[in-house]
Structure 1
Amino acid sequence: MKGARVLVAGGAGYIGSHVVKLLGEAGCEILVYDNLSTGKEEAVLYGHLVKGDLGDRRTLEKVFREFRPQAVMHFAASIVVPESVKFPLRYYRNNVVHTLNLLEALEVSGCKLFLFSSSAAVYGIPKEIPVTEEAPLAPINPYGETKATVERMLRDLAASGCGFRYVSLRYFNVAGADPEGRIGFNYPEPTHLVIRALKAAKGEIPQLEIYGTDYPTPDGTCIRDYIHVTDLAEAHLVALDYLLSGGESEVFNCGYGHGYSVREVVRTVKEVTGRDFPVVEAPRRPGDPPILVADSRKIREKLGWKPRYDDLAFIVKTGWEWETRLSAS
């Protein structure tokens, strides 16, 4: 892997920047392509940053011609489920049309390897928990539909006989921050539960809303599989190594295989931070399945992925340490 040329679309964002950090530490040659709509320039710790949009075909193709990547990682997507319900066409343009632009630039350049940032949202409301990669794609919101659409595009391109190979990583709920404290979540209006709970603990938002308390779960709130962002980043490196070594196209879940309810997360945040904050019960949000927990045996067994931070309190602790650094800066 050392010396591999990797183009990272969306590498200035939350997950992308953590992957770039590990790629840099592994000795890869990195080009980050990001429009900085939500990403931060200072989060790019390695490589060269080109400010550009995936809708800009001319700039995109120029970057491919000059950098000539061996592999491409794609993180440049819109990710907020309720927003996707309200603005579906915006999501189809950014998540599908712009991915098509990226794939066409990749095809013209001769690059054959692609890692895709997918989501557990492609499963919708799975019939069996934990959900395996063989479960049908049945998304219940536009965000999930866009991810499933791209996965079908990748499948068809790989089957065309052009030599294209890909890995699609289906994320469950990503949280936490770099344990070394160099990078973390830094969006102006966070929607993720753990981040919002930490913001409430800091007093940056007046209260934390719990959306739905009547789900068919033990305490009535949604259950999710929370994965530390560094463990997820390491999954990308083992997937890249797999493709560089000649591995065939594959799809892998990225989660720990067990979940926590919203109320359990709130309780953990209060315990870790030592701070109380107001919690308000609100109606369900459209597009939220009751339970999403990964069966992650496939990536562990096939790629040898060994997560190190399967501990909700540690996930919250690293996120809290990052939040306190943001306040001090």
Structure 2
Amino acid sequence: MNSIAKRLTVGIASLLLHASLPADTETPLTIATASPAGVYHVVGRALCRTLSTPCRAQPSDGSSANLRALRRGELAFALVQSDLHQYATQGIEGFRQAGADTALRSVFSLHSEPFTLVVRRDADIASLEDLQRRSVNIGNPGSGQRSTMLRLMDARGWSRTTFRQVHDLPADQQSMELCHGNIDAMVYTVGHPNDSVAQAIRLCNAEIIDVSGTTIDLLVNAYPYFSYATIPAGLYGPDQPEIHTFGVKATLVTRADVDAEQVYRLVSEVFGAFTRFKATHPALGVLTPQVMIEEGLSAPLHDGALRYYRERGWIHDEALLPVRHEIRRGAALAGMAN
């Protein structure tokens, strides 16, 4: 075969190859989650499996990191804790320098996330107060668990010097560090049951203890994104009692400039397969549409989500106004300062 014939053959083969490919491969929808060891990632994958379009659950450094990436336009969807959701919306706390994120939009809230204190049984920690002078993991920068722990420390009047050591480990490393004796306690704001917590209890002779008292009462009364929470007895073994604590909610958020039709399809497909979606993890089993569109949301609802909720008759014209949580400071915050 001469050189011209060879070039023609290669050219025809190349054309045939490209003709066999899809004309327009759809870019996967990405939902930023958190540590692969946490419930956020499980829920993100469950959301993706519910959708008919290509979708990927993307691990991340957590809620704060997700909110900053959303603001920079690097993400379209993310899972974030309800407390950081409000901070970003109002431009307070860790988002004060950046200012209020007026482009942040709510899609819906998801499961409750109890603040979970896991301790080594040999560390002699029976209550929150016993964490003083112990080695504690407060979570990696950017994570929701760290934000909640810092809020708790501030309310209690604690600083990093309150503890013997403070560690900044991500969620997928903390249980093994507990097992190795490098930390006495770890905190985790997470839905239950959780594999990391189960691993610590199963392998490290660890236990979950109550997080209660005056400081917790003040926090719950002062901030609407906090509420009392329980972890059911027996979830991590027959000798595990019911645990009393407080917590936040996981929320799905997006940006105002994300296509309304895309958001509408996501919401309609999740609620169209709602029973199947709730069955993917025990933490989702108690969800109801009304709670998901009312609780834990500080940013206004995205137009695509609002359209679907109005079509279903779940929401009315007054919901066109931004959903703003006014912090009930007053006596509660005054009590923290005393």
TM-score bucket of the superposed structures, by smaller chain: 0.3 to 0.5
TM-score (norm 1): 0.33
Q: Which has the higher contact order (CA 8 A, sep 6+)?
A: 2
Larger Rg: 2
TM superposition score normalised by structure 2: 0.32
